C-alpha cells in the first residue's frame, strides 16, 4: 500500500512539473486552435451598440501612462481615429489575437492618416504585460470603473459589479472623424468573431473619406 501511495505521489509531482514546463506552449496552442477562424471580412450582422452615426463622440474616462484621459483627439491621425474596444488582453484569446493583428497593420493605418487606440477593462499593470510580450506600440487605455463603456453604450450587461468580468464591453471598433463625429462602427454580436484589421482599415478609410466630402 505504501508503495502505491509513493508511486501516486510521484506521478502527481511529475504531472505538476510537466504542466509548469509546458504551460505556455500549451496555452498558445489552445488559443491558436480556438481563434483559428475568428476573422471575417465585414460586419455582417445587425448588431449595432454604441454612439449613433453622426453623433458627437462622447469622450472617455480612462488611464493612459498614469494619466487620466478624456479626449480621443489625443490619438487622432490626420483623417481621424479608430477606437478598438476590447474585453481583455489578459484572458480573452480573441481580443489578444485581434490586437496582435492590428499591431501588424498599424503602419498601414498610420500611412492612411488614421490614428489607432485600444481600450479594455484590464488594469494598466495587466495591460503592460501583454504590451511588453507582443511589442504593442498602439496606445492602450484602461477604462475607469466602466465609465467609458457606459458612456459609449457598449458595456456588456451580462455581468454585475463585483463579478470578475464586470466592466467588459461589447468588442468592436468606432471610427471618429477629426471633428469628433462618429462616422462608422464595426460590432459583431458574437464575441468570438472580429472584422479583419485590413478590412477594418478599408472600412474606416471609406467612412472618413465620405465624411470629408
Judge if 63 and 164 occupy the same domain.
yes
Judge if 196 and 178 occupy the same domain.
yes
Residue whose cell numbers read 502505491: 4
Judge if 76 and 157 occupy the same domain.
yes
Task: Output the pLDDT for position 177.
Answer: 98
Contacts of 177 (CB under 8 A, 6+ apart): 79, 80, 183, 208, 211, 212
89 close to 96: Cβ distance less than 8 angstroms = yes
Q: Which domain holds residue 10?
A: 1-34
Residue whose cell numbers read 449613433: 52
The overall average pLDDT reported for the chain is 90
pTM: 0.86
Judge if 26 and 108 occupy the same domain.
no
How many folded domains does the chain comprise? 2
Residue 68's H or E segment, with its range, is strand 67-69
Can you tell me the mean pLDDT for 98-116? 98
Q: Tell me the CATH number at 153.
A: 3.40.30.10
Residue whose cell numbers read 461589447: 170
Judge if 136 and 77 occupy the same domain.
yes
Task: Output the pLDDT for position 188.
Answer: 97
Q: How far is CA 197 from CA 2, 104, 105, 116, 205, in A?
A: 59, 9, 7, 11, 12
Give the pLDDT band (50/70/90) at residue 30.
confident
Q: Give CA torsion, residues 132, 185, 42, 96, to 10 deg.
A: 20
Question: Cell triple for residue 197?
Answer: 484589421
What value, to the nearest 5°, has the Cα angle with vertex 207 and ends 202 and 212? 125
Judge if 154 and 55 occupy the same domain.
yes
Give the pLDDT band (50/70/90) at residue 33.
confident
* Phi-psi sector, 101: left (phi>0), alpha (psi -120 to 50), beta: alpha
Contacts of 5 (CB under 8 A, 6+ apart): none
Amino acid at each position: 500500500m505504501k508503495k502505491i501511495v509513493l508511486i501516486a505521489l510521484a506521478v502527481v509531482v511529475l504531472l505538476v512539473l510537466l504542466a509548469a514546463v509546458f504551460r505556455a506552449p500549451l496555452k498558445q496552442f489552445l488559443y491558436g486552435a480556438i481563434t483559428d477562424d475568428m476573422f471575417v471580412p465585414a460586419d455582417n450582422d445587425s448588431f449595432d451598440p454604441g454612439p449613433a452615426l453622426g453623433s458627437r463622440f462622447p469622450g472617455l474616462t480612462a488611464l493612459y501612462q498614469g494619466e487620466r484621459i478624456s479626449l480621443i483627439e489625443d490619438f487622432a491621425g490626420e483623417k481621424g481615429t479608430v477606437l478598438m474596444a476590447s474585453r481583455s488582453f489578459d484572458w480573452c484569446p480573441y481580443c489578444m489575437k485581434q490586437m496582435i493583428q492590428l499591431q501588424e497593420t498599424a503602419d498601414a493605418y498610420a500611412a492612411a492618416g488614421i490614428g489607432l487606440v485600444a481600450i479594455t477593462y484590464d488594469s494598466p499593470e495587466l495591460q503592460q504585460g501583454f504590451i511588453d510580450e507582443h511589442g504593442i506600440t498602439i496606445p492602450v487605455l484602461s477604462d475607469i470603473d466602466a465609465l467609458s463603456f457606459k458612456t459609449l453604450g457598449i458595456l456588456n450587461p451580462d455581468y454585475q459589479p463585483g463579478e470578475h468580468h464586470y466592466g467588459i464591453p461589447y468588442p468592436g471598433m468606432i471610427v471618429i472623424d477629426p471633428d469628433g463625429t462618429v462616422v462608422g462602427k464595426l460590432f459583431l454580436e458574437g464575441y468570438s468573431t472580429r472584422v479583419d484589421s485590413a478590412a477594418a482599415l478599408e472600412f474606416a478609410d471609406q467612412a472618413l473619406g465620405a465624411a470629408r466630402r
